[in-house]
Amino acid sequence: MTADATAPALRIGPHTVWPPVVLAPMAGITNAPFRTLCREFSGGKGLFVSEMITTRALVERNDKTMQLIHFDGSEKPRSIQLYGVDPVTVGKAVRMIVDEDLADHIDLNFGCPVPKVTRKGGGSALPYKRNLLRSILREAVGNAGDLPVTIKMRKGIDDDHTTYLDAGRIAVEEGVTAVALHGRTAAEHYGGTADWEAIARLKEHVPEIPVLGNGDIWSAADAVRMMRETGCDGVVVGRGCLGRPWLFGDLVAAFEGGGAPAAPTLREVAGVMRRHAGLLGEWLGDEERGVVDFRKHVAWYTKGFSVGSEMRRKLAMTSSLAELDAHLADLDLDQEWPDGAEGPRGRTAGSKRVVLPDGWLEDPYDCSVVVGAEAELDTSGG
């Protein structure tokens, strides 16, 4: 399946994004090395957003945070995702980015469903408090200068407490450039099937700005189908690219009407694994730390291939590039891409009760419940 190559490019403020494909921020995943791999496969096309950065940690110049906001010189535009719950702190973080020229685009996260965050009123719980959401967006946009500000959110807390239509309208009114919607509620976590109809409804509700769809894009064909079925202006790809940075090459081919690239053999996958681990070591300044950090990617890269439980265990215990090379060389590298590698990957946990602060649902406009720093955990973008 291919898209209409004449479809309009995605506009994020002054930035033109073609094809209209965005790498979703994922904690511990979309660091500079992984973004490098994705950009290489796409030929530099698309938009690749940093890991989620908490505004408080940025303002306080936390060492780990300052490393995470580093962009390679070839990254244009530089896109950074911020997460914050206090309007003043968000405004300070955005002003810091502008004054120190740290990025070219700011995305705000309101999608995290993790209980540790929602029980404090953060993440995907926050948009329920409409006035708090408005205050955060107003501070962000007001301090952003010429930098475009976008947001990423979920449908709401649960099916009885959806927020995305109100949040989309507030975003338009406060000068947000584009909105991305993950078609799940916080209660659905990462289970079930994403509600693409909600993406279509949001597009109808806020025709003034681009709407991006997120959820259940496991292949380039899924991305094309989402845009055709929902009318959205672009797609955000998250779990579908775990262990598959070449998906962005597939997406470029699909949107530009070219032939789909051949699926990689295990030999080619092993080459990407080795490069990924090496890039992590260079980025962290320590080979062993890089290889250890890479371990989380092993199961995603090898999904569906005949590798064996013992070899998977060895790969997941590797501590050096030499050791990784030796284990990869022991694989049956001539294996073709297996059917079992297709489809969902990453977290698939289903419905969970959303833990909220006491009285959170009583009044969507009452902001008397203070959302404290405890809601600013470094966790998944949602």
Strand partners, 248: none
Cβ atoms 369, 360 nearer than 8 A:
yes
Dihedral (Cα; 282, 285, 291, 297), 10-degree rounding = -60
Cβ-based neighbours of 258, under 8 Å, separated by 6 or more: 2, 252
68 vs 382: CA distance, rounded Å: 18
375 vs 118: CA distance, rounded Å: 7
Active-site residue (options: 38, 112, 232, 241): 112
Active-site residue 38, yes or no? no
Cβ atoms 111, 381 nearer than 8 A:
yes
Q: What are phi and psi of 102, to 5 degrees?
A: -90, -15
- Burial of residue 43 (CB within 10 Å: 0-12, 13-18, 19+) is exposed
HSE at residue 101, side-chain half, CA atoms within 13 A, is 1
361 vs 38: CA distance, rounded Å: 40
Rg of the chain over Cα atoms, rounded to whole angstroms, equals 20
Cβ atoms 39, 75 nearer than 8 A:
yes
Dihedral (Cα; 156, 196, 233, 243), 10-degree rounding = 90
HSE at residue 296, side-chain half, CA atoms within 13 A, is 13
H helices of the chain, where?
32-42, 55-59, 63-68, 87-99, 115-118, 130-143, 164-173, 196-205, 220-230, 247-255, 266-284, 287-294, 298-301, 309-315, 321-329
Tokens 């980025």 correspond to what residue? 283
Enter the tokens of residue 182.
């993950």
DSSP 10: E
Residues noted as catalytic: 112
